[in-house]
Amino acid sequence: MSAPLLTINDVSVRYKLPGGGSLTAVNQVSIDVAESRVVGLVGESGCGKSTLARAVCGLEPVSGGEIHFKGAPVRKLGMRRRPEELMRIQMVFQNPYASLNPRRTVGSQIADGLRANPASTSWSVAGLLEEVELPSEVQNRFPHQFSGGQRQRIAIARAIASGPELLIGDEPIASLDASLQARVAGLMRKLALEAGASLLFISHDLAVVRIIADEVAVMNKGKIVEHGTSQQVWDDPQEAYTQRLLAAIPAVDGLGTLPGGEKI
Ligand SMILES: Nc1ncnc2c1ncn2[C@@H]1O[C@H](COP(=O)(O)OP(=O)(O)OP(=O)(O)O)[C@@H](O)[C@H]1O
Ligand SMILES: [Mg+2]
């Protein structure tokens, strides 16, 4: 078997706090993402999901452990251009304005992605828009001229255009209506796999994650507390923390409980 696409080995990330002291946001995490695999990362607000994603992209230095992407170590980026191999990791954020430039047409931004993709012979701007279920005429519009769900789909098209081998979604559906969340999440899975990429899908919504992910890692206070196939984690959670996350999912009868005061 070939080595996993991404290996995160015993990684810790520590933030220095103003006035001294530090906060360990990610604490000795180990997790691999294999090729053509969808891995969900779930956990409550503040547990360290975004910090881990930022470290994988080279945006945050690790204070311990190692991250390898395609066998090469990922290091914190300096002010230099992003190294070529890290261009193969693309991130879609909760707020699509963080992935899109508000001052440029969506077509030109998708075209930039295509130019960055050495193997992009088959994609076109119109073709990618069609993939995310938007008509090609919209390519001359600016990001603010779309709905939130459409904008997020454009951000996904932009990320796919540059030919990622690893697509990371950091709460990419959190800003969308409930009715749209599963659809956009499903679209991300489909496009990533069609493009031959893996997907690391971060969300605090285990109900959506289990639909699209092959495996799920559960994070709590900087640590991965449970990791298994989506079915295992959903049907037979081993950890009390995972059981609590599952119990917090509203049931279809509308009587489900929500954790008191916690961010949903
Ligand atoms: N730049 C920073 N400096 C100091 N502490 C930080 C910084 N960024 C995040 N933290 C802290 O690190 C911890 C993990 O934050 P992180 O953003 O990774 O959580 P998260 O799981 O993505 O949460 P959410 O679901 O709300 O997005 C939190 O306690 C947060 O306050
Ligand atoms: Mg986050």
For CA atoms 209, 201, 164, 69, the dihedral sign is negative
Tell whether 255 is covered by a domain.
no
Q: Is the pTM of this model over 0.75?
A: yes
Region 12-33: mean pLDDT is 96
d(CA 180, CA 164): 24
Cβ–Cβ < 8 Å for 178, 148: no
**Ligand 1 atom closest to Cα of residue 52:** 18
The answer to the question of residue 191 being in a domain is: yes
Our count of domains for the chain comes to 1
Residue range 76-105: mean pLDDT, rounded:
81
Closest ligand to the CA of 26: 1
Distance 172 CA to ligand 1 centre (A): 16
Q: Is 204 in the pocket of ligand 1 (CB under 6 A)?
A: yes
Ligand 1 pocket check for 143: Cβ under 6 Å = no
Residue in the block written with tokens 């206070």? 221
Contact 166, 198 (CB under 8 A): yes
**pLDDT above 50 (res 258):** no
Model confidence pLDDT, tens digit, residues 102-160: 999 999 999 998 988 867 667 899 999 998 999 999 999 999 999 988 999 999 999 99
DSSP 103: T
CATH at 196? 3.40.50.300
240 Cβ closer than 6 Å to some ligand 1 atom: no
Residue 48 beta carbon below 6 angstroms from any ligand 1 atom: yes
Residue 182 lies in a domain: yes
> Residue 180 in 3-state DSSP?
helix
Question: Would you say residue 147 lies in a domain?
Answer: yes
Residue 256 lies in a domain: no
| Cβ proximity of 79 and 253 under 8 Å | no
Does 257 fall in a domain?
A: no
Q: Which residues are CB-neighbours of 16 under 8 A, at least 6 positions away?
A: 22
Which domain does 93 fall in, by range?
6-76+84-247
What integer pLDDT is reported at residue 23 of this predicted model? 97
pLDDT digits (tens, 9 = 90+) for 66-84: 999 999 999 877 666 666 7
Ligand nearest to the CA of 48: 1
The alpha carbon of 126 and the centre of ligand 2 are apart by a number of angstroms equal to: 32
Instruction: Say if 253 falls within a structural domain.
Output: no
With a 6 Å cutoff on the Cβ, whether 47 touches ligand 1 is: yes
Residue 100 within any structural domain of the chain: yes
Is residue 26 exposed (0-12), middle (13-18) or buried (19+ Cβ within 10 Å)? buried
Cα 210 vs. chain centroid, distance in angstroms?
14
